[in-house]
Amino acid sequence: MDINIDDILADLDRDTTAVGSTPAPAGEDTTRLDDSAATAAADYSTLMTHWCNERVAPELLPYPHALMARVLARLAAQIEHLETLSTGVLEQTLDRSAKLPLLCMEAELERLKFVVRSLLRCRLAKIDRFGLYLRQLDAGSPGALHTLLSEQERVYYERHSAIMLKLLNNAILRHMPPEMQAVDDTDGSVSMIDEPDWARFVFLYVREPAPDAPDPQLAVDDHGQPCYTVNIPELGEDVDLAVGGIYIMRYNVIKDLLMDGKVVLI
Amino acid sequence: MYGDVANKLVLEAKRTDQLANGSATLQLPMFQDEMVRVILKEVSQLQRNAEYLKMQEDGGKLSKCQYFVTMLCMERNKRCLLAYQKTRSEILDAIAWENNGLDTMDLLSNKGQDSGNLSPYEQEYLREYSQLISDLTAGELMDIDLAGSLTPPSDVFIDVRVLKDAGEIQTEYGVFNLIKDSQFFVRQADVERLIQQGYLQKL
């Protein structure tokens, strides 16, 4: 007779690690600024997923306001911390061994800064591209831009479209007949509003569902594996996306799953 | 036929695009002032035609068709003109991102050979866009340095060689004496801007 005692052992583990981990941060880990070590790491991995998604997705994804605020605050704090540390090192000793943690922290900062910079630049490029579409979106449902864009991005968007319009107006549109002066004309033979290519193919990876939250969308396929089922409208076909699998799909098919964080783009 | 000159302009735009993507340093060929003016003249001619056609309302099917074709020609011309201008402005954006936001913001005035190729409206646009970028980087995102390099950092320290003499240059992190063909072993973050400006070469 086998008795499964995994849960009891897990309980025990939790207790001992809690005791063991309390003195550790104070002793070795002076680089950490806040005690929420887990959330910093989790935030970083969310940032990475967000970055990958943004770079691959054809449309502009909603701006992660809370996440970015946390990351930026931590970045500023860490830079300050690093500065005080390095001045302290200069005053004291200059032996090589003391410099290693400083180097590591600096490299880490550079990497994080690169990710954030790349993410923001990617978003700015998309804002440039879909400027007119965003305007149409804003007119359709006011306030949509507030969730989609950050404060600075909105300022950038407004100003850039203003100066772009000024350029086009001065150079060309002023000399056109009045009924042809619009830059967002949709009645002509070609629509002038560039929409995201919703049907673009993307690579995606189906993530493991969270262990403690049962998901109503999760089904079981023929082989007994958990999967999500999506429907491709133009073919009228159902497809099972097995957990842990990699697929190539049209973006509009998996948009909802992406927004829920159940799949990530790669 | 109407639209032939516009077609040439689009070919020019295509060439501009290839030129910008092909070479390492962004450059913009001359603004085709002459061609644009010819097309705009054609448009105003077409507009006069359209007004004339509108005047004689009685023509029925025939004049309606004529009016429609005239409108289509104008639309075609407009599309080509806008496509040309947009292509150029996108390259201007790329130039602004690459060069500005760096320490010396007045770089724009130094590279005069390019500003001769721009139309006055484009010069104004470039100036305003550079201002926009520097405002953006000066705001809350100061720590990020948005205009910085988009290649991921791999090493903390790198070897650099000085390509052209620049005398003593004060960076935010200290003073370098940049003598031609000398070599330094420095922190990458310090010299990134000097590499972008073309003073240093990464080894």
pLDDT above 60 (res A27): no
Question: What is the pLDDT confidence band of residue A29, given thresholds at 50, 70 and 90?
Answer: very low
pLDDT above 80 (res B41): yes
- CB–CB contact A106 B50 (8 Å): no
- CB–CB contact A168 B82 (8 Å): yes
Cβ-Cβ contacts under 8 Å, B121 against chain A: 166-167, 170-171
Residue A81 and residue A64: Cα distance in Å, rounded? 26
Distances (CA, A) of A111 to A107, A173, B193: 6, 45, 17
Q: What's the confidence (pLDDT) of residue A202?
A: 92
Q: B146 touching A, CB under 8 A?
A: yes
Q: What's the confidence (pLDDT) of residue A48?
A: 93
Q: Give the pair of three-digit tokens for residue B140.
A: 């809350």
pLDDT above 50 (res A21): no
- CB–CB contact B152 A121 (8 Å): no
Give chain A as a 3 state SS string: CCCCCHHHHHHHHHHHHHHHHCHHHHHHCCCCCCCCHHHHHHHHHHHHHHHHHHHHCCCCCCCCHHHHHHHHHHHHHHHHHHHHHHHHHHHCCCCHHHHHHHHHHHHHHHHHHHHHHHHHHHHHHHHHHCHHHHHHHHHHCCCHHHHHCCHHHHHHHHHHHHHHHHHHHHHCHHHCCHHHCCCCCCCCCCCCCCCCCCCCEEEEEECCCCCCCCCCCEEECCCCCEEEEEEECCCCEEEEEECCCEEEEEHHHHHHHHHCCCEEEC
Mean of pLDDT over chain B = 80
- CB–CB contact A152 B141 (8 Å): yes
B79, B136, B187, B190: best to mutate for the A interface, most A CBs within 10 A: B136
Contacting B with CB below 8 Å, chain A residues are 72, 75-76, 79, 103, 106-107, 110-111, 113-114, 116-118, 120-121, 124, 128, 151-152, 155-156, 159-160, 163-164, 166-168, 170-173, 175-177, 180, 183, 188-190
Residue A80 · residue A72 · CB < 8 Å = no
In angstroms, what separates the C-alpha of B47 from chain A's closest C-alpha? 7
Q: What's the confidence (pLDDT) of residue A222?
A: 63
In angstroms, what separates the C-alpha of B75 from chain A's closest C-alpha? 8
Average pLDDT of span A121-150: 85
Distances (CA, A) of B160 to A219, A234, B147, B150: 57, 56, 21, 19
pLDDT above 90 (res A122): yes
Q: B98 touching A, CB under 8 A?
A: no
- CB–CB contact A164 B40 (8 Å): no
Question: What is the pLDDT confidence band of residue A16, given thresholds at 50, 70 and 90?
Answer: low
Q: Give the pair of three-digit tokens for residue A202.
A: 């993307």
Give B50-88 as a DSSP string.
HHHHHH-GGGTHHHHHHHHHHHHHHHHHHHHHHHHHHHH
A110, A150, A173, A187: best to mutate for the B interface, most B CBs within 10 A: A110
In percent, the amount of chain B with pLDDT more than 90 equals 3
Q: Which residues contact A95 (CB under 8 A, 6 or more apart)?
A: none
Cβ-Cβ contacts under 8 Å, B85 against chain A: 167-168, 171-172
- Measured in degrees and rounded to the nearest 5, phi and psi for residue B177 equal -105, 105
Q: B121 touching A, CB under 8 A?
A: yes
Cβ-Cβ contacts under 8 Å, B47 against chain A: 177
Side-chain half-sphere CA neighbours of A115 within 13 A: 20
Q: Which of A212-221, B28-37, B135-144 has the lowest mean pLDDT?
A: A212-221
Q: Which residues contact B141 (CB under 8 A, 6 or more apart)?
A: A72, A120, A152
Residue B9 and residue B37: Cα distance in Å, rounded? 11
Q: Which residues contact A87 (CB under 8 A, 6 or more apart)?
A: none
Residue A244 · residue A234 · CB < 8 Å = no
pTM beyond 0.95: the answer is no
Average pLDDT of span B108-133: 74
Q: What's the confidence (pLDDT) of residue A132?
A: 87
Q: Which residues of B89-126 are buried (b: 16+ CB within 10 A; e: fewer)?
A: bebbbebbbebbbbeeeeebeeeeeebeebbebbbebb
In angstroms, what separates the C-alpha of B121 from chain A's closest C-alpha? 6
Average pLDDT of span B30-42: 88
Q: B136 touching A, CB under 8 A?
A: yes
Q: What's the confidence (pLDDT) of residue B28?
A: 80
Strand ranges of the sheet holding A263-265, from the earlier edge strand across to the other edge: A246-250, A201-206, A263-265
pLDDT above 50 (res B83): yes
A-chain residue closest to B129, CA distance: A160
In 3D space, the residue among B195, B109, B111 whose CA is nearest the CA of residue B159 turns out to be B195
Q: What's the confidence (pLDDT) of residue A32?
A: 41
In 3D space, the residue among A87, A77, A84, A88 whose CA is nearest the CA of residue A112 turns out to be A77
Beta-carbon count within 10 A of A122 CB: 18
Out of A88-102, A141-155, B83-97, B142-156, give the one with best mean pLDDT: B83-97
Q: What's the confidence (pLDDT) of residue B154?
A: 82
Residue B185 and residue B203: Cα distance in Å, rounded? 10
Question: A192-195 long-range CB contacts below 8 Å, 24 or more apart?
Answer: A192/A132, A193/A132, A193/A133, A193/A136, A194/A129, A194/A130, A194/A132, A194/A133, A195/A130, A195/A133
In angstroms, what separates the C-alpha of B142 from chain A's closest C-alpha? 10
Q: What angle do CA A241, A243, A249 make, to 5 degrees?
A: 35
List the beta strands (DSSP E) in chain B: 157-162, 167-171, 174-178, 183-187, 200-202
Q: B150 touching A, CB under 8 A?
A: yes
- CB–CB contact A113 B132 (8 Å): no
List the beta strands (DSSP E) in B10-163: 157-162
pLDDT above 70 (res A2): yes
Question: What is the pLDDT confidence band of residue A50, given thresholds at 50, 70 and 90?
Answer: very high
Q: Which of A64-68, A102-106, A216-220 has the lowest mean pLDDT?
A: A216-220
Side-chain half-sphere CA neighbours of A65 within 13 A: 8
- CB–CB contact A167 B89 (8 Å): yes
Q: Give the pair of three-digit tokens for residue A48.
A: 């990475």
B-chain residue closest to A76, CA distance: B143
- CB–CB contact B78 A168 (8 Å): no
SS3 assignment, position B177: strand
Residue A182 and residue A185: Cα distance in Å, rounded? 6
Average pLDDT of span A155-178: 88
Q: What is the DSSP letter of B31?
A: P
Mean of pLDDT over chain A = 80
Average pLDDT of span A65-70: 89
pLDDT above 70 (res A214): no
pLDDT above 70 (res B76): yes
Residue A104 · residue A118 · CB < 8 Å = no
A176, A181, A185, A193: best to mutate for the B interface, most B CBs within 10 A: A176
ipTM of the complex: 0.84
pLDDT in tens, B124-181: 888 888 888 888 877 766 677 777 778 888 877 888 888 876 677 766 667 777 787 8
pLDDT above 90 (res A52): yes
Q: B55 touching A, CB under 8 A?
A: no
